[in-house]
Amino acid sequence: MSGNATFRHDNAALLAVTSVEAPVVVSSREFDERLAPSLKRLRLSGRLLERVAGITERRWWSPGTGFDDAAIEAGAKALAASGIEPSQIGLLINTSVTRRNLEPSVAVKIHHKLGLPSSAVNFDLANACLGFVNGMTLAANMIDAGQIKYALIVAGEDAQPTQETTFRRLNDPDSTREDYLREFATLTLGCGAAAAVVGPADAHPGSHRILGGVSRAGTEHHELCVGGPDGMFTDTKGLLDGGLELVVTAWHEAHADGWNWASMDRYVTHQVSNSYTNAIIKAVQLARERVPITFPKWGNVGPASLPMTLAQESLSLGTGDRVLCMGVGSGLNTTMMELAW
């Protein structure tokens, strides 16, 4: 395919990336205990979350803490780490999947609480688990165009309400094995928040350049994973097969256009499960030791999972390291973005 699938940035850099872990640890064994009546009645073995998905625990927020409060905290941390004042921010993008209402945007509360200026454009960008990477791309484009100087991208996720609803539905006497399998992915979710500050590379020597990458869409798969406040319903095998095909196609598209990602220092992928990670590693022959894994302790934190993992890895990355962010979102969409640390 020719056209706009691959892209390059001239003067955009990642100045800081930070995360906020939700404080309440909830193990997969606790989930099994809550679903024990259903598992027994449907003759399903326990510990599927650990054995199949590889998720031993995830985190929930403390009572009274909202996902947007966590996004605000992550944003404040990112601003402090970057040394950029709130008054300098020209763009705020909230990429959270979680929301309480259709309007106004989640971004407006975050904008207000962080004390961003009236001149800062702010909005929500929703694209499932790919939203944060999309937000970084958009910010980099606007910086290259000279429209803004600094951008703040945030995401905050709260899986608990959806999971509580799922527990009630799966423990209903009329639930089936098919219901459990369709909603299994809901049980892999977790809570967390992340934020990043993007700015002009030429004004920040030593910052982490956002070089560019590739984006591809496989929207024929838009019905494979559909989520909402009442639950997330997934064709797990179809999603894996479709997502894998899309990622492999994008990988080859990028290499045909001059990118070379065969020997990156780190591959930061969207965190889903064992099967997804293993399939990606095998399909494009990644060095397993260069693929950090965080889903066993955090679960799938939606669009916050990749930047949370990147924030963790930033502690061990050195100047000159090459990092490839590999995002995938239901729909299906994928973006791969190279960073020069």
Catalytic residue IDs: 103, 129
CB 334 within 8 A of CB 246: yes
Look up residue 308 and give its two tokens: 């949370």
Do β-strands 266-269 and 322-329 pair in parallel, antiparallel, or remain unpaired? parallel
CB 155 within 8 A of CB 307: yes
Selection from 331, 41, 272 nearest residue 179 by Cα: 41
Tell me how far apart the alpha carbons of residues 229 and 98 are, in angstroms, rounded to a whole number. 9
Where is 239: in which H helix or E strand? helix 236-256
Look up residue 36 and give its two tokens: 């024990």
Where is 168: in which H helix or E strand? helix 160-170
CB 155 within 8 A of CB 302: yes
Selection from 147, 196, 162, 159 nearest residue 337 by Cα: 196
Tell me how far apart the alpha carbons of residues 280 and 248 are, in angstroms, rounded to a whole number. 8
Tell me how far apart the alpha carbons of residues 317 and 82 are, in angstroms, rounded to a whole number. 17
Q: How far is CA 91 from the centre of its chain?
A: 20
Which amino acid makes up residue 60? Answer: W
Selection from 44, 64, 9 nearest residue 209 by Cα: 9
Tell me how far apart the alpha carbons of residues 40 and 173 are, in angstroms, rounded to a whole number. 11
Please give the backbone phi and psi of residue 82, each rounded to the nearest 5 degrees, phi first: -85, -20
CB 270 within 8 A of CB 305: yes
